[in-house]
Structure 1
Amino acid sequence: MQRGPTGSYVRVSSAANEEAWAFIPSALPPQPPPDLKGARGRLHDQALLACGRLDAITALLPEPELFLYAYVRREAVVSSQIEGTR
């Protein structure tokens, strides 16, 4: 399946008259629509099932925000280590 570009770059100017390039994504849904047959469809179904399981587990947690915060914090620490910052 071949699609065209996912968007385009346009030149924009800020309030301070500084010019820059901005990426403007194409409108959704994409044309042609994604092909969800065969192996790709099975992977899509597995991903939806995993999201459903995660949603079900969060209903059992006393404070889902703390559960989510732990993963956001972990990702931030790993990202900082990769960048060499604190």
Structure 2
Amino acid sequence: MEKYFLIRNRRVVKAIFNDSRIMLADLAHEYIDGEWEKISPNVVNDRLMGYDSTETTGSKIGNSEVIEEIKEIPADKIDEYLK
């Protein structure tokens, strides 16, 4: 299943997930200059998990500020974000 996301209110990305809602590796793309360009799946996964590479103590996963950087865009609304 293809899902679309908005990152930091400006980057539009899409990723492919299986039926278990696990993102399939190497199937993430960002919409740049009118085309979908392949990106690292970490761009999506890190934000969905709240991964904070700068965290020095405790868990690096679950940072709410990182999680808030990404929001899902309904597929029927994606055209509004690609203009």
- In which range does the TM-score fall when normalised by the shorter chain? under 0.3
Comparing both structures, which one devotes a greater share of its residues to helix?
1
Q: Determine which structure has the larger strand proportion and give its number.
A: 2
> In terms of Rg, which structure is larger?
1
TM-score (norm 1): 0.20
